[in-house]
């Protein structure tokens, strides 16, 4: 069990103080973010029930705002709502995971195309810097650092697209997939690593030349390869994790 957040902390933080504009994030969004993080971080087992009362105490709120947040998370695809049976964290089949990766690929392909239209030289320089940093992690076989910088690079490309709707949708899908990634690292895919590094070379190259269509294509295929690795990993993990009756 984790230490509970004091109940009156949230309400006081909102209502009290001479400058209430500080907490304009509106209690609702606060709850939403915290609940989402709680689920994404894997505190609730896959396919497990989401106990309303327990979460109410943990977040220090009543059921109504919590249920509102759950409805939103359901529309985001993180949980599923069964009639009269409450919310369960949605467990992804390998088919679902493949679908999500493909959509991510489509979104990144779009991001790459738009980025070529809008990106500044400074931003490209920053991505170049990150690229070489990532290359350093690759050489040192630092998987953790590699993944971290890798994420940042992809994020930077999406941000360079200058499209808030795209950014929000991308964040949504990234969150759904992150839940899987949390439960296991992809460390076994060593052979894929060098290939991914080479793909990133071509990504950077296309970005430098601002070749939108080309970059779009590369990014989708890059994600498609990621998808293959991820799905293979998930199935392997499923077999290993299956409990003998």
Partner DNA sequence: AATCAGAATATTGTTCACAATTTTGATCGA
Partner DNA sequence: TCGATCAAAATTGTGAACAATATTCTGATT
- Which positions lie near its own copies, rule CB under 8 A? 7, 9, 24, 26, 28, 64, 67-69, 71-72, 74-77, 81-83, 85, 96, 99-100, 102-103, 105-107, 109-111, 113-114, 163-166, 168-169, 173, 213, 216-217, 220
Q: What is the CA radius of gyration of the chain?
A: 21
Q: Quick one: 122 or 168, whose CB is closer to its own copies?
A: 168
Shortest Å, Cβ 12 to DNA: 10
**Interacting positions 18-47 with DNA (CB under 7 A):** 20, 26-28
Shortest Å, Cβ 1 to DNA: 15
* Partner whose binding site includes residue 114, from DNA, its own copies, none (CB under 5 to 8 Å by kind): its own copies
Site track 58-87 with DNA (rule: CB under 7 A), x = hit: ---xxxxx-x-------------xxxxxxx
DSSP string for 170-218 = HHHHHHHHHHHHHH---TT-HHHHHHHHHHHHHHHHHHHTT-HHHHHHH
Q: Quick one: 84 or 120, whose CB is closer to DNA?
A: 84
* Cα dist from 16 to 13, 172, 221, whole Å: 6, 33, 52
Gap between the Cα atoms of 156 and 200, Å rounded? 14
* Burial group, residue 175, by CB count within 10 angstroms (0-12, 13-18, 19+): middle
What are 217's two structure tokens? Answer: 């294509």
Shortest Å, Cβ 3 to DNA: 12
* Partner whose binding site includes residue 109, from DNA, its own copies, none (CB under 5 to 8 Å by kind): its own copies
Give the residue carrying structure tokens 């979460």.
Answer: 55
Q: Which of 48, 40, 80, 96 is nearest to 230 (CA)?
A: 96
Contacting positions for DNA (CB under 7 A): 7-8, 11, 14-15, 20, 26-28, 49-53, 61-65, 67, 81-87
């Amino acid at each position: 069990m984790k230490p509970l957040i004091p109940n009156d902390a949230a309400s006081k933080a909102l209502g009290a103080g001479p400058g209430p504009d500080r907490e304009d994030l509106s209690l609702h969004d606060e709850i939403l973010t915290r609940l989402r993080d709680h689920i994404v971080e894997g505190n609730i087992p896959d396919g497990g029930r989401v106990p309303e009362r327990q979460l109410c105490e943990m977040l220090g709120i009543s059921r109504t705002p919590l249920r509102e947040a759950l409805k939103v998370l359901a529309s985001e695809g993180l949980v599923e709502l069964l009639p009269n049976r409450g919310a369960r964290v949605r467990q992804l089949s390998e088919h679902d995971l493949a679908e999500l990766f493909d959509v991510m690929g489509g979104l990144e392909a779009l991001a790459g195309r738009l980025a070529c239209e809008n990106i500044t030289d400074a931003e490209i320089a920053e991505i170049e810097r990150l690229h070489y940093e990532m290359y350093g992690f690759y050489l040192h076989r630092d998987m953790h650092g590699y993944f971290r910088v890798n994420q940042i690079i992809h994020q930077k490309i999406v941000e360079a697209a200058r499209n808030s709707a795209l950014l929000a949708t991308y964040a949504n899908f990234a969150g759904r997939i992150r839940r899987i990634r949390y439960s296991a690292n992809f460390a076994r895919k060593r052979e894929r690593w060098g290939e991914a590094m080479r793909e990133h070379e071509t990504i950077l190259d296309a970005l430098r030349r601002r070749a939108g269509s080309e970059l779009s294509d590369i990014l989708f295929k890059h994600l498609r390869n990621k998808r293959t690795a991820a799905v293979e990993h998930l199935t392997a993990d499923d077999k290993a994790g299956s409990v003998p009756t």
